[in-house]
Amino acid sequence: MDKKYTDSEIIEAWQINAGPWIKAIGAGEIESRLLVTNKAIIDAVLNGKPRNILDIGCGEGWLAAELSAKGINVFGIDAVPALIERAQQIKGGTFAACTYENLSSYEFNRRFDCLICNFSLIGEKSTESVIAAAGKLLEPGGRFLIQTLHPVAACGALPYQDGWREGSWAGFSKDFTRPAPWYFRTQETWKNLFSRSGLEINAIHEPAHPRTGNPASVIFDLSNAKSASQ
Ligand SMILES: C[S@@+](CC[C@H](N)C(=O)[O-])C[C@H]1O[C@@H](n2cnc3c(N)ncnc32)[C@H](O)[C@@H]1O
């Protein structure tokens, strides 16, 4: 893809589409989430029996609500104030507006035993900021769970190489406008990114879509092996 986008365009797009997004999640309009990926991330998180979670790019807060209902403390951050306001109104958990770019300087006054990014690592540098901040946000031995588009399944007809791609709201209601661009990474690039920040891969899950049999996502289950010295 030749066209170069920027990370700030992603935030702008989410600001514009916050209303339709709140409606779509509330009405259960995303089939793959209902059939596969919601359960996949919840199972992966609960598997580690966390007590204090940071939900990074929490959106309107559905995952924080699910996990809070199980007695887990959840702090959610997102760049879009309208999504944070929604999360504060109706969900369990604590929420604050904060961008990934400001994550490492945000005063949480604590570390977390689990970080989650559920389909929220979309950009180029912004994603790198989150991965780089993870070591300082996690308790020693903590876990970082990232659910994202599966690099092979989501590659489509374009070459299997890193780069910006045009977004699309195909399959969503006509209320959505201006899709967010996204930065495609190969599986190898994701792994190198984790390794550069001292994150080790515990497991990689590839939940399959029951109708197509193709991976609906990939979940990287990481731990901060070097955190004790950070
Ligand atoms: C696809 S939504 C996922 C929301 C939520 N995690 C979920 O599972 O429904 C992506 C989210 O990432 C947030 N986001 C994208 N780039 C961001 C950035 N640089 N800083 C903070 N939030 C960002 C958007 O505002 C949006 O809420």
Q: Is the CB of 78 under 6 A from ligand 1?
A: yes
Q: Quick check: CB of 126 below 6 Å from ligand 1?
A: yes
Ligand 1 atom nearest the C-alpha of 14 is 25
Q: What is the pLDDT along the chain (230 residues), one digit of tens a residue?
A: 556 899 999 999 999 999 999 999 999 999 999 999 999 999 999 999 999 999 999 999 999 999 999 999 999 999 999 999 999 998 789 999 999 999 999 999 999 999 999 999 999 999 999 999 999 999 999 999 999 999 999 999 999 999 999 999 999 999 999 999 999 999 999 999 999 999 999 999 999 999 999 999 999 999 987 544 44
Q: What is the pLDDT of residue 226?
A: 59
**CB 80 less than 6 A from any atom of ligand 1:** yes
3-state secondary structure 81-146: HHHHHHHHHHCCCEEEECCHHHHHHCCCCCCEEEEEEECCCCCCHHHHHHHHHHHHHEEEEEEEEE
145 HSE (CA, 13 A, CB side)? 26
- Farthest CA pair distance, the chain: 50
CA angle 77, 5, 131 (to 5 degrees): 40
Minimum-distance ligand 1 atom for the alpha carbon of 100: 20
99 lines ligand 1 (CB under 6 A): yes
Q: What is the mean pLDDT of the chain?
A: 95
Q: Give yes or no for a contact between 143 and 50, defined as CB atoms under 8 angstroms apart.
A: yes
What is the C-alpha to C-alpha distance for residues 184 and 24, in angstroms, rounded to an integer?
A: 24
Give domain 7-229's CATH superfamily.
Answer: Vaccinia Virus protein VP39 (3.40.50.150)
Q: Where are the domains of the chain?
A: 7-229
Q: Write the residue with the smallest CA distance to atom 16 of ligand 1.
A: 11
Mutation choice for ligand 1 from 29, 75, 78, CB with most ligand atoms inside 8 A: 78
Which residue in this structure is represented by tokens 């209601």? 173
